[in-house]
């Protein structure tokens, strides 16, 4: 079973509008963390926002917020006031702590295109 599911392969949004990118996850571990990364066409992986499973408040970082619904196992990324520079691939990832390490499991990504 997929641990991280991103069901939207591509999304379009108009400049200055808000957009929600979906992410659902599957784990039986009560301790986990959820990340969103942005990958522009140049290829680098840019950290956007993080939510720990025990965090009471939804994470926010500037124009990014994470809509964390633990019971539904969803961690959607909301980008407010979209800008042309937001056009990129967006990956949701889950961190599980295993013994002496932890690793990220990534979703398949959503390609966001911001239009004028």
Partner 1 sequence: EPEVTQTPSHQVTQMGQEVILRCVPISNHLYFYWYRQILGQKVEFLVSFYNNEISEKSEIFDDQFSVERPDGSNFTLKIRSTKLEDSAMYFCASSERKGITSGNTIYFGEGSWLTVV
Which range of residues in 7-15, 18-26, 33-41, 70-78 is near partner 1 by CB under 8 A?
33-41
54 is a site residue for partner 1 (CB under 8 A): yes
CA atoms within 13 A on the CB side of 60: 5
110 is a site residue for partner 1 (CB under 8 A): no
Place of tokens 């500037």: 62
The residue (of 33 and 82) whose beta carbon lies closer to partner 1 is 33
Nearest approach, Cβ of residue 87 and partner 1 (Å): 17
In angstroms, rounded to a whole number, what is the distance separating the alpha carbons of residues 108 and 65?
20
Place of tokens 């986990």: 32
Phi, psi of 82 (to 5 degrees): -55, 145
Question: Which residues of this protein are in contact with partner 1, per CB under 8 A?
Answer: 31-33, 35, 37, 42-47, 50-55, 59, 91, 93, 95, 97-109
């Amino acid at each position: 079973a997929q641990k991280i599911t991103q069901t939207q392969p591509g999304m379009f949004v108009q400049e200055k509008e808000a957009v929600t990118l979906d992410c659902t996850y599957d784990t039986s571990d009560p301790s986990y963390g959820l990340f969103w990364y942005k990958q522009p066409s140049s290829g680098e992986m840019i950290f956007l926002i993080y939510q720990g499973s025990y965090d009471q408040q939804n994470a926010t970082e500037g124009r990014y917020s994470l809509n964390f619904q633990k019971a539904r196992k969803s961690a959607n990324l909301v980008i407010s006031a979209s800008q042309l520079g937001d056009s990129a691939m967006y990956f949701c990832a889950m961190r599980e702590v295993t013994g002496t390490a932890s690793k990220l499991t990534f979703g398949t990504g959503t390609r966001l295109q911001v239009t004028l």
